[in-house]
Each structure stands twice: as structure tokens, then as C-alpha cells.
Structure 1
């Protein structure tokens, strides 16, 4: 009886708590990256004003070349536009991947998001210059949706890169700790897998964007 009482009163070993992933942090990082992207888009207005004042002729020539690339009316021009869009978006995702796998910290990721937003804003301003009211609405309806989807996908991927880079940065400088959370190698593998998934998803997105641009150009020429 004594042995039974002793076994009945022995405390049970404490159960290990399963670490929960912080969803709010990913959402906050994505919102901050989107804010950096939009701030870069607003900064594009200042650069556009400098181009109009003929103080940056090289940038103005570069943007005019981009504008001519979006005037796709034939099949070879559409294929070239698709390749250009895909290369630019995948290049931006590759930069996010490299920054996420490094220990440079979150600041370069935010700066690159701002820079990408500036480039997107400059290109959009060049494409919208000289359009009438109906043409402006048509172009916004056809071209703005794929651009917004691509920017949102890059912000989501950048948020994942930001988390991995923050953990690697903390671990590199001796502030990471050994327990809890996702291991650094697992986080890096997850980021590479997200990059592969993003690559697959961006192909039809860039194809749809190219088709909408060609449709808008034909409708503008017909109107």
C-alpha cells in the first residue's frame, strides 16, 4: 500500500511546450516592407522632376528605353517584354534571397525594397505620361493589377528573408541563443523553397501582365 501511495503521489514530468510560430511578426514585417516600397515609389516623383529639368539625362534616356520596351505590338516584342519583366522580378527576388541568407541584418532588405519601389514608380510615371483620360483608366486597369500582385509577392518573400536574416545576424553576433524557434538551417532551407515556389508562380503572372499590356496597346491604337 505504501509503495502504491508513493507511486500515486509522484509528480508527473512537465510536458515540453511546443514553440508557436509568431504570425504577427511576419505580418508586421510584410507591412513594413510594403511601406518601404511605397515610400520608394513616392521618392520616384522627385527623380522624375529632376529628369524633367534635364539634370539627369542618363536616367531619362534609360527610362525612355524602358518605355519603348512596353510598347509591345508584335509577337517578338511581346516575348522580349515577357523576358524582361520576368528577369527583373526574379532578379529582385534573388537579391532578397541573398540578403536573407546573409548576416547583414534587416536594414539592407528595407533599403532594397525602397529602391525597387523607386524603380517601379519611375517606370509607371514614364508609361502614364501623355495618356488621355480613357487611355489612363484602361492602362491602370490592365497593368496595375499584375504589378500590385508582383509587389505583394515580393513583400511576402522579403518578410521571410527578413526573419531568416535577423536570426542569422543574431546568431553571428552571439545573441541568438540555442533553444526554441526554427533552426537556422531549417529557416534557410524554407527560404530557398519559397524562392523556388515564387519562381514558378511568377512565370504565369508575368505572362498575364505581358498579355494585358499588349491588349492595352492594341485598344489604344484602335481607339
Structure 2
């Protein structure tokens, strides 16, 4: 909490040192597609960037973050971008203040490596998905840069495909796709970024009484 409080205003600059943002954002947009959907939740929303880039697709967006300073930055960014269909609120990723079975897309962007229990966070995120909803995680591949623990509050040094797949399995999600982004830029930027897409296994059944909102029944 102290780390994010101190670095909120310069967070995008700090992140740009080791993450190819444009490549990842382009991949996210391609992965999610152009079809509009009802609702999106961004856990650990930070500066609100994902809410901003997906705003043309969702009707309702919610961002959750523990840091008040980060939320201030996110609100300013969303206002500046003219995003009126999203809101951000303070909350814990392990018990987010939102309804369950309610979101078509849940994102966890560069958050898992700060958590002491990533599996629990993935399980909680899965419970927030609607049937057939998607969970997208962006984080680092396994690495050995120990200085990130001391200087940047990292608790985990990346994640393997197998680890994410196992956690998805425990949460009732199917791992549909993974992508890798090789490091580039400065000499210290030796971190490979990974993207994982999981989908809720429950089937979405059309509701004949509602032409706009799919039913939330499961098969």
C-alpha cells in the first residue's frame, strides 16, 4: 500500500520501463474482439487504462483498487478521456465490492505478482464472471530479478503457463489462449510479459424474455 501511495502519480512511467504497453494493449483489443458486451471489471485498476481502452465495447465498467491515490489518478484519466460509462471504487481484490456472476470480462493487469495468494485472487475473479465470461490476466513470465522484491514490492517472480492453467482449472475456467511478449528497450528491461485468457465453463443460455441481456442460467 505504501509503495502504490508513493508511486501513483508516476505509475505509467514506472511501468513503461519493463512492459511493452502498446503491444500488450493491441493484443488485448484483438483478443477481446469488437463485439460489444454488457459489463467489465478491472481488478487492481491502477491508472484505469484498461477501462479506458475497452470503453467503446462495454455498457458498464467498474475498476477496483485498494490505493486511494491510484483511484484519484484513474478518475482523472477517465474524465480526461471522456469515459462516462465506467466508475472506480476502493476495494480489496480478495473481496471486491461488486456483485457475483455479473461480468462478461474481468481483467487483472500486472497485479498478481504483488499478491501473496494469486490463486485466491483468480478464484475470486472467476466467481464474478457471468456464464461463458472471460478472465484476462497480464503478468510476467518466470524470471530471477530479485531486486524487484525489494525495490518494487513484487512478491512473486513471474508465473508459468502451467501454474496459471492449474489455477484456472481450480477456479472452473478453461485456459483458451496464452501469448508472450519478449522484452525490449533498456538494458534492465529483461522481463517477458505474458497474457492468459480463461473462460467460464458454464454455458450462457439465451433468455427469450430479454432481448438485450443474456440469461445467467448454467448448463
Q: TM-score range by the shorter chain?
A: under 0.3
Higher relative contact order (CA 8 A, sep 6+): 1
Taking structure 1 as the reference length, the TM-score comes to 0.23
In terms of fraction of residues, the more strand-rich structure is: 2
More helix by share: 1
Q: TM-score, normalised by structure 2?
A: 0.24
